[in-house]
Amino acid sequence: MNSMINNVVTEQALDPKAFRRALGNFATGVTIMTAQNSQGERVGVTANSFNSVSLDPALILWSIDKNSSSYRIFAEATHFAVNILSAAQIELSNKFARRAEDKFAGVEYDVGAGNSPVLKNCSAVFECEKFNIVEGGDHWIIIGKVIQFHDHGRSPLLYHQGAYSAVLPHPSLNTKAAPDESIFPGRLYDNMYYLLTQAVRAYQNDYQPKQLASGFRTSEARLLLVLESKTATCKSDLQREVAMPIHEIEQATEILAQKGLLLDTGHSYELTAQGNACAHMLYKIAESHQEEVFTQYSAEDRELFKKMLKDLIGI
């Protein structure tokens, strides 16, 4: 009996704000849930309550506040879409989190199952048939049956302790084992080609996750950096500077243009103000990593190393 009383007292004593802060320690992804009813009314809300339920059948769930004005359309719609945001979609997350008459104004999307809006450039999208709605305290728990999904593989946007965050590998995963002194490499470690390729691989292992955490794929990030530097004055120069297959460049320019970061002038590509801001952010990531890797070397050593690389490239 005393135990039961204690439990009741504990529940009554819960501070909602403190409880919310404690829940914030659980890092989640960020999604925008979208749907459209038979009258053509569209709805979209930012949510981090998304979770998987079952693999067979493929079921997922999310929850929405009972006081939300958006709930009516989700309840009326036969389908909804789960748009898992990429790390580059903070502005989109904020837009759908605010009250607005038409949140879709200026937003590019395709029409998915049940006429649900499917947002572009996400990490992944799950198109769902409404399976069930269950009451859960002050929220409705909406369960969907996944009928189609799109896996784009972009680094996802995270939410942790009330702030946006991004995915980075845990530092312990980058711990390098001490070299085995009993191994004698002989002529291999005098081979410049071997050393250069191994050095690039090692540098990329630590740098690429930081770059991907920005929400841009390697091709998109490289294109932003090249265009900001203005080393490619026309489209024909891009492949040389970006050093990627032309189809990768074409796909990257299309995505950057959709995001409003790049303009096609016909003869060349130019970054918008927002595109330049993104390029500056990427440069800061690159420069920070560069400083971290080369901190043990003097300024003279670094300049000599850069000169040797530029000579090899032919700059």
Tell me the pLDDT tens digit for each residue of 109-118: 999 999 999 9
Residue with more model confidence, 242 or 293: 293
For 7-32, the pLDDT digits (tens) are 444 556 788 888 888 888 888 999 99
Whether the pLDDT of residue 3 is over 50: the answer is no
Looking at residue 7, its pLDDT comes to 46
Whether the pLDDT of residue 234 is over 70: the answer is yes
Cα separation, 177 vs 179, whole angstroms? 6
Average pLDDT, the chain: 87
Cα separation, 129 vs 144, whole angstroms? 5
- Is residue 14 a contact partner of residue 60, using CB atoms and an 8 Å limit? no
Kindly indicate the confidence band of residue 145, based on its pLDDT and cuts at 50, 70 and 90: very high
The DSSP line for the chain is: -HHHHHHHHHHHT--HHHHHHHHTTS-EE-EEEEEE-TT--EEEEEES--EEEETTTTEEEEEEETT-TTHHHHHH-SEEEEEEPBTT-HHHHHHHHS--S-TTTT--EEE-GGG-EEESS-SEEEEEEEEEEEEETTEEEEEEEEEEEEE--PPBEEEETTEEEE----GGGGPPPPP-TT---GGGGG-HHHHHHHHHHHHHHHHHHHHHTTT--HHHHHHHHHHHHT---SHHHHHHHH-S-HHHHHHHHHHHHHTTSEEE-SS-EEE-HHHHHHHHHHHHHHHHHHHHHHTTS-HHHHHHHHHHHHHHHT-
Looking at residue 241, its pLDDT comes to 81
Looking at residue 200, its pLDDT comes to 86
For 245-254, the pLDDT digits (tens) are 677 788 888 8
Token pair belonging to 16: 């909602």
- Between strands 42-47 and 109-111, the pairing is unpaired
Looking at residue 267, its pLDDT comes to 84
Q: What is the reported pTM?
A: 0.72
Residue with more model confidence, 147 or 222: 147
Distances (CA, A) of 174 to 27, 133, 177, 204: 22, 44, 9, 12
- Is residue 177 a contact partner of residue 183, using CB atoms and an 8 Å limit? no
Looking at residue 8, its pLDDT comes to 44
For 154-206, the pLDDT digits (tens) are 889 998 877 888 887 776 766 666 566 566 667 888 888 888 988 888 888 88
Looking at residue 216, its pLDDT comes to 85
Q: For 219-248, what is the mean pLDDT?
A: 81
Q: Which residues contact 63 (CB under 8 A, 6 or more apart)?
A: 47, 49, 136, 139, 140, 141, 142
Token pair belonging to 153: 């593989």
Query: Residue 150, Cβ neighbours under 10 Å: how many?
Result: 16
